[in-house]
Amino acid sequence: MKVLVVVSHPRKDSLTFKVVDRFVQGLTEAGHDYEILDLHEIGFNPVLQGTDEPDWSVEEQTFSPEVEVEIKRMKEHDALTFIFPLWWWHLPAMLKGYIDRVWNNGFAYGANHLHHQHVLWLSLAGVSKEQMQKRSYDKTITHLLNVGIADYCGIPNSRVEFLYETLDSHPEHYKMLLDHAYRLGLNYAKEA
C-alpha cells in the first residue's frame, strides 16, 4: 500500500516530526511505501479563495494549480495519514485549509468521492486522556474526523488516535508516545 502522510507543524524539530519519523519506520517495516507531505515546507496556502471555491452547479471543476497538484498527489496514494498537534480542540489552520481546498466538490465529495480505503488521524494532544474525556472532546473530534470528513468523502475506514500529554517531556513518556506511533505504522492496514 502507498500511504500519503500529511504533516502539519511549523517546526521540523518538534515532537510531531519525531512521531512522523517513527510512524513511517513502522510503515516501512510492514512493507508499505509512503510519501511525507510537509504542508509548511511546501508553503501550502490554507486560504480558500477564487477558483478553489466549490461550485455546486457543476459536477467537476478545475481548481488552482496548487490544488490540482495536491489532487494529483492524493490520486497516487492508496491510503492517508494526517499527523498534527491538536490546537483549540481542532486541526491546525494549515491542515484545515488543506482539507478545505483540496478535498473539494467534485473530487472528494459531490459527484465523486475519494478512492482511499483507509485514513488515520494521528493527533498530539497536550492534555491527558481524562481531560479530553471531561467534556467529550475526544468523542466530538473523533466524530468530526471519522464521520463529518472521512465518511462524507467516501472513506470507509477512518480512525482517530490521540497521543496524550505531549507536554510531558520525560524521556520515558516520549519513548512511549513514539513507540505507539511506530506500532500504528507497523499495523496500519490492520488498524486504520
What sign has the CA pseudo-torsion 56, 60, 62, 67? Answer: positive
Structural domains in the chain plus CATH codes: 2-191 (3.40.50.360)
177 pLDDT more than 50: yes
> For 160-169, what is the mean pLDDT?
94
Q: What percent of the chain has pLDDT over 70?
A: 99
188 pLDDT more than 60: yes
pTM: 0.96
Confidence category of residue 174, pLDDT binned at 50, 70, 90: very high
Assign 3-class secondary structure to the chain: CEEEEEECCCCCCCHHHHHHHHHHHHHHHCCCEEEEEECCCCCCCCCCCHHHCCCCCCCCCCCCHHHHHHHHHHHCCCEEEEEEECECCECCHHHHHHHHHHCCECCCECCCCCCCCEEEEEEECCCCHHHHHHCCHHHHHHHHHHHHHHHHHCCCEEEEEEECCCCCCCHHHHHHHHHHHHHHHHCHHHHC
> What pLDDT does 192 receive?
46
* Backbone angles phi and psi of 130, in degrees to 5: -65, -40
Residues 6+ apart with CB under 8 A from 156: 117
Q: Are 48 and 100 spatial neighbours (Cβ–Cβ below 8 Å)?
A: yes
> What pLDDT does 60 receive?
83
> What pLDDT does 156 receive?
95
Confidence category of residue 131, pLDDT binned at 50, 70, 90: very high
Low-confidence winner among 45-49, 59-63, 64-68 (lowest mean pLDDT): 59-63
> For 104-114, what is the mean pLDDT?
95
Q: Are 153 and 103 spatial neighbours (Cβ–Cβ below 8 Å)?
A: yes
> For 18-31, what is the mean pLDDT?
98
> What pLDDT does 191 receive?
55
Confidence category of residue 160, pLDDT binned at 50, 70, 90: very high
More confident residue, 189 or 172: 172
